[in-house]
Amino acid sequence: MVARVIPVEPFDLVIFGATGDLARRKILPGLFHRFRAGQMPSDAKIIGSARSEMESAEFRTLVGAAIAEFVAPDLRPQDQLDAFLQRLDYVHIDVTGDIGWDALQKILRPDTIRTFYLSVSPALFGAIAERLSTHAIATPQSRIVVEKPFGHDLESARALNRDLLRHFDEAQIYRIDHYLGKETVQNLMALRFANSLFEPLWNATHIDHVQITVAESLGVAGRGGYYDQSGAMRDMVQNHLMQLLCLIAMEPPSKFTPNSVRDEKVKVIEALDPVPLRDIVRGQYRAGRDNQSYFDDVENPDSRTESFIAMKLTVGNWRWASTPFYLRTGKHLRDRVSEIAVIFKDPPHNIFPNKMEGRKGNALIIRLQPDEGITLRTTIKEPGPGGMRLTEVAMDMSFADALGKDLTSQDAYERLVMDVIRGDQTLFMRGDEVEAAWAWADPMIAAWEEASQRPMPYDPGSSGPEEALMLMHQGGRRWRPIGD
Ligand code: NAD
């Protein structure tokens, strides 16, 4: 299968924080891939901006080095890399001051769509939005892209929204959650709403429970300072896992338009029941053979921030009453795995007595990481003449095998940046959506802080604390293993 590349309109893209880690690792290599694929028109311009003083030539060298580091040699032919680097300019601006903005204004073309990508600390979002407006750089057609974390709680998220909305309309604001740019996540919508197979079963009558796991095998060493202020709930659940939950649980939108999709997602968040502390397990990894403890990684022996969280949620609406959703995410776990498992109920009547023992039942597994794809677990007769014995097989579809590696290897950032240029907000979080997710998360965080709760220790390389297993066992269910 060949990827269809539809070039986007000419654009001027300004990246604030262009010398930072995210720009070097993801945004600029991603843009290079799109350039190589022919999606970027030849007159597109990328303007880097940051606090460091440098000339455009120096910036091009820096970006060339980043691409050499983060893009495989066979994917970066020198002539194409040179051509891409010619599209780059640099303007030095300390965004907390008023110097440099006129130089930026001069580089931008009057009739070209302007996109401002804020790959900087959220503390700078307000300053940049304001100066783009007061220096008359932002136009009514401009777009502004902001990175996570979008707030630390409801109040700070509201303040960020206010700062942006003072100068930009909601239709101009693109809040990135890079999980939404993953192929499988978008495929969730296709799977549910472009097939008639699953939707009739997609409810509490047929689905026993849903498990969403985002497990990492590494700890937080190297970014402990940031992480300890945040924790698994704020860093992962409130945004990424919540987005996955929304796509699984939402009602079919009437149209595939950004606001129809986002309206349905907000309804899911608003329907979530409050989660009692007994249905939440928080953990912190211990030291292991090859790693320091969480306390050492964050240099805070008294930290009560969780590096692991598991919880049981219920969605208080007609479709999902009585189907729990179990979420789990953490650091230093057994493997790096992200998946959604939809576990179906047993048939209402068993005509194979004694033949179903040990059977786990039908499940639809949507894999985000590794090897994006979908598996459907079904029960069949064990082949051979031994009578009617039942066994389970997986109908396994790897996207890379089915569609080709080229089609599936795109990074989420590549897709999302092109969506911004196209003006498609479907895969970006709306302001009310982010606020609703914080409004849901805040009372839980307040409850464990008020209870002075200490997270449970767990061994690195494990599946998290024992208590997380118990949370599932209480309901007579089991977590899927993390990794093989
Ligand atoms: P970083 O510290 O590596 O880079 C920050 C950039 O901001 C640098 O280019 C710096 O020059 C610029 N900057 C800082 N203060 C400035 C000022 N006053 N004026 C102008 N420029 C200024 O940070 P990063 O890791 O690239 O992260 C950027 C943003 O993206 C943060 O909000 C972060 O939370 C978010 N993010 C990062 C990652 C990641 O993998 N690095 C992932 C998700 C989200």
CB 409 within 8 A of CB 3: no
Q: 452-466 as b/e, with b when 16 or more CB fall inside 10 Å?
A: eeebbebebbbbbbe
Q: How far is the CA of 354 from the centre of ligand 1 (A)?
A: 59
Please tell me the predicted confidence (pLDDT) of residue 480.
Answer: 95
Report the distance separating Cα 469 and Cα 281, nearest Å. Answer: 9
What's the half-sphere exposure (Cβ side, CA atoms, 13 Å) at 377? 18
CA of 475 to the centre of ligand 1 (A): 43
User: Which residue in 167, 240, 332, 349 is the catalytic one?
Assistant: 240
**What pLDDT is attached to residue 383?**
85
**Residue 15 near residue 48, CB atoms below 8 Å:** yes
Of ligand 1's listed atoms, the one at least distance from the Cα of 95 is 19
Angle at 473 between CA 470 and CA 477, to 5 degrees: 145
Question: Rounded to an integer, what distance in angstroms lies between the CA atom of residue 464 and that of residue 458?
Answer: 5
Q: State in Å: Cα 160 to ligand 1 middle.
A: 16
Ligand 1 centre to CA of 411 (Å) is 19
pTM score, whole prediction = 0.94
Cβ neighbours of 318 (radius 10 Å) = 10
Pocket perturbation via mutation, ligand 1, pick of 15, 49, 120, 131 by most ligand atoms within 8 A of CB: 120
**Quick one: pLDDT at residue 405?**
63
| Cβ 192 vs Cβ 202: under 8 Å | yes
Pairing between β-strand 207-215 and β-strand 325-330 as defined by DSSP bridges: parallel
pLDDT for 2 equals 55
d(CA 77, CA 392): 47
**Alpha carbon distance, N-terminus to C-terminus of the chain:** 30
Nearest CA residue ID for atom 7, ligand 1: 17
Is 209 assigned a catalytic role?
no
CB-based contacts of 384: which residues, under 8 Å, 6+ apart?
Answer: none
Task: Return the closest-CA partner of residue 335 out of 480, 233, 467.
Answer: 480
344 Cα to the center of ligand 1, angstroms: 43
pLDDT in tens, the chain (484 residues): 556 677 888 999 999 999 999 999 999 999 999 999 999 988 899 999 999 999 999 999 999 999 999 999 999 999 999 999 999 999 999 999 999 999 999 999 998 999 999 999 999 999 999 999 999 999 999 999 999 999 999 999 999 999 999 999 999 999 999 989 988 888 899 999 999 999 999 999 999 999 999 999 999 988 899 999 999 999 999 999 999 999 999 999 999 999 999 999 999 999 999 999 999 999 999 999 889 999 999 999 999 999 999 999 999 999 999 999 999 999 999 999 999 999 999 988 888 877 767 778 899 999 988 878 899 999 988 888 878 888 888 888 777 777 776 655 678 899 999 999 999 999 999 999 999 999 999 999 999 999 999 999 999 999 999 999 999 999 889 999 998 7
Let me know: does 80 contact 35? Beta carbons within 8 Å. Answer: yes
Kindly tell me the burial class for residue 54, based on how many C-beta atoms sit within 10 Å of its own C-beta (0-12, 13-18, 19 or more). Answer: middle
CA 19 to ligand 1: nearest atom: 9
Q: Where are the beta strands (DSSP E) in 65-133?
A: 88-92, 113-118
CB 119 near ligand 1, within 6 Å: yes
397-456 tens-digit pLDDT: 777 777 776 655 678 899 999 999 999 999 999 999 999 999 999 999 999 999 999 999
Choose which residue among 118, 121, 218 to substitute to test ligand 1 binding: the one with the highest number of ligand atoms within 8 A of its C-beta: 121
d(CA 448, CA 134): 43
Contact 113, 11 (CB under 8 A): yes
| SS3 (DSSP) at 305 | coil
- Residues sharing a CB contact under 8 Å with residue 303, sequence separation 6 or more, in sequence order: 228, 284, 294, 295
User: What's the pLDDT score for residue 349?
Assistant: 87
Assess whether the C-beta atom of 95 lies below 6 angstroms from ligand 1.
yes
